[in-house]
Amino acid sequence: MHAFRYFDGILHGEEAPLTRVAEAVGTPVYVYSRRTLRDHYRRLDQAFAEVPHLICYSVKANSNLGVLSVLAGEGAGADIVSGGELYRALKAGIPPRKIVFAGIGKTVEEMAYALRSGILMFNVESEDELLLLDRVAGEMGRKADIALRVNPDVDPGTHPYIATGMKEAKFGIDMEEALAVYERAASLENVRVVGVHQHIGSQITEVGPFRDSLERTGELVGSLRGRGLDIRYINIGGGFGIPYDEEEVPYPVDYARALAPLLKERGCTVILETGRLIVGNAGVLLTRVLYRKKSGNKRFLVVDAAMNDLIRPSLYGSFHRILPVVENDREEETVDVVGPVCESGDFLARDRSMPRAEPGELLAVMSAGAYGFVMSSNYNSRRRAAEVMVDGGDFLVVRERESLDDLVRGERVVP
Ligand code: LLP
């Protein structure tokens, strides 16, 4: 459930009219709901209450300090994939002992930073990385707690760009090789094996792939324990999908019902690296219509947000609902909603049926809280959008719109 609704014909974030936010901060602007973030976090936490668990919010989905600090306040940990994400998580007040570090390309500097910070564990993705981590930890006189990311080879039935748990993916270690790599890990001086990690993909809208992969990972845990390894954590990754339109997707309780028996059987603490489920529907992107335009048989709405602000439609063909901020009963028309960027692939929606919108009017691109701002860029020298957190009837700018100076920071004119 999210807190973006119409009251008196105006779309609100919680009790704040989005017209007011747009007037105060300008457009394009991302707007997040604090209440929705907390609600989503709590539902997930409660769903898994019967098994020992730790929610490591996946920072890559939305790394704004405002978002991270709200989740830190709820007791969340963090799943990070870079030194930059570690910096943000710590700055937002997430305790290092609740931070897990994934990613296939960790550098020596990142490993050292994470070891110095005292994170809970590294999710190691290759034997080369394992050996390097052992060396770095040894040089620092520390022990690195690790899980190996294994590749359970299941098809999550999602977009190929975000499916990660199949054999051909660059992520993780093949199941067949996992035992050997675990044995290697156990023989090293400066790493301590504490868990098993899997992540099979993102925006998965069925329980089945999670159950199948957890069965395989669970068996591996059994074999590892049989070899005397003290496996205490099963990290099932992220990937719980959300509704972008009217589609039915499982709720956190549905996942918990299917997975809890398997998890209990293994007696481990489960780590959930959920991103999108918590933040996706807790955010919208507000944009203003600049022009109407016709070309042949096609109608276009040119708006002030573009693929540099929200790349999901261009990159994955993703669907985001687009609603008028001020409700109206005008006739529907079919339009492409496009931005000012000089690329034909710059669109937020194609062949979309929506009530006629006029220049100057505000639109809300829904479900934009996850993989929205974080994937934005300065392409076409567009300043990145502002971000706002609503809280009841109030709102706070949690990231200012970039300035022209921000755009050229660190650059030099060659004399
Ligand atoms: N854990 C790992 C190791 C991951 O790679 C990811 C996402 C997550 C957790 C969080 O997954 P979530 O719960 O948010 O599904 N940009 C794409 C999504 C890329 C996901 C990358 N990895 C999109 O806009 O759909």
Question: ∠ at Cα 174 (216, 267), nearest 5°?
Answer: 35
Distance CA 353, CA 340 (A): 21
- Do 157 and 250 fall into the same domain? yes
Residue-wise over 153-182: b if at least 16 C-beta within 10 A, else e? Answer: bbebebeeeebbbbeebebbbebeebeebb
- Do 309 and 384 fall into the same domain? yes
Residue ending a domain, choose from 216, 249, 276: 276
- Do 23 and 78 fall into the same domain? no
Segment (H or E) for 265: helix 252-266
Q: Which residue type occupies 402?
A: E
Exposed (0-12), middle (13-18) or buried (19+): which is 99, by Cβ within 10 Å?
A: buried
Residue ending a domain, choose from 276, 293, 321: 276
Find the 241 Cα to ligand 1 centroid distance in Å: 10
Question: Residue 415: inside a domain, yes or no?
Answer: no
- Do 188 and 318 fall into the same domain? no
The pLDDT of residue 167 is 67
Ligand 1 atom showing the smallest separation from residue 197 Cα: 3
| Residue of 358, 355, 346, 350 whose CA lies nearest to 290 | 358
Q: For residue 397, give the CATH number of its domain.
A: 2.40.37.10
- Do 74 and 16 fall into the same domain? no
Ligand 1 atom showing the smallest separation from residue 241 Cα: 15
- Do 311 and 223 fall into the same domain? no
Question: Residue 319: inside a domain, yes or no?
Answer: yes
- Do 186 and 242 fall into the same domain? yes
- Do 220 and 98 fall into the same domain? yes
Ligand 1 lined by 273 (C-beta under 6 Å): yes
Question: Residue 413: inside a domain, yes or no?
Answer: no
- Angle at which helices 208-226 and 252-266 cross, to 10°: 20
- Do 26 and 43 fall into the same domain? no
Ligand 1 lined by 203 (C-beta under 6 Å): yes
| Alpha carbons within 13 A on the beta-carbon side of 126 | 10
Ligand 1 lined by 125 (C-beta under 6 Å): no
- Do 27 and 62 fall into the same domain? no
Instruction: Specify the pTM.
Output: 0.97
Specify whether the CB–CB gap between 4 and 284 falls below 8 A. Answer: yes
The pLDDT of residue 105 is 96
Residue ending a domain, choose from 276, 310, 338: 276
Q: Going residue by residue through the chain (415 aa), what tens digit of pLDDT does each one get? A: 789 999 999 999 999 999 999 999 999 999 999 999 999 999 999 999 999 999 999 999 999 999 999 999 999 999 999 999 999 999 999 999 999 999 999 999 999 999 999 999 999 999 999 999 999 999 999 999 999 999 988 877 777 766 666 666 788 899 889 999 999 999 999 999 999 999 999 999 999 999 999 999 999 999 999 999 999 999 999 999 999 999 999 999 999 999 999 999 889 999 999 999 999 999 999 999 999 999 999 999 999 999 999 999 999 999 999 999 999 999 999 999 999 999 999 999 999 999 999 999 999 999 999 999 999 999 999 999 999 999 999 999 999 999 999 999 999 999 9
The pLDDT of residue 93 is 98
Give Cβ neighbours of residue 72 (< 8 Å, ≥ 6 apart): 92, 93, 94
Domain that holds residue 340: 4-32+280-407
> Residue written as tokens 């194609």?
350
Question: Residue 290: inside a domain, yes or no?
Answer: yes
- Do 202 and 71 fall into the same domain? yes
Question: Residue 72: inside a domain, yes or no?
Answer: yes
Question: Residue 237: inside a domain, yes or no?
Answer: yes
Residue whose Cα lies nearest atom 22 of ligand 1: it is: 202
Ligand 1 lined by 79 (C-beta under 6 Å): yes
Distance CA 169, CA 165 (A): 7
The pLDDT of residue 157 is 76
Q: For residue 264, give the CATH number of its domain.
A: 3.20.20.10
CB atoms within 10 A of CB 69: 17
Question: Residue 414: inside a domain, yes or no?
Answer: no
**Does the annotation count 56 as an active-site position?**
no
Distance CA 65, CA 399 (A): 9
Q: What is the DSSP letter of 201?
A: B
Q: How many residues does the chain have?
A: 415
Question: Residue 412: inside a domain, yes or no?
Answer: no
The pLDDT of residue 165 is 61
- Do 245 and 110 fall into the same domain? yes
Ligand 1 lined by 40 (C-beta under 6 Å): no
- Pick the catalytic residue from 245, 295, 342, 381: 342
Tokens of 266: 């293994």
Q: How many domains does the chain have?
A: 2
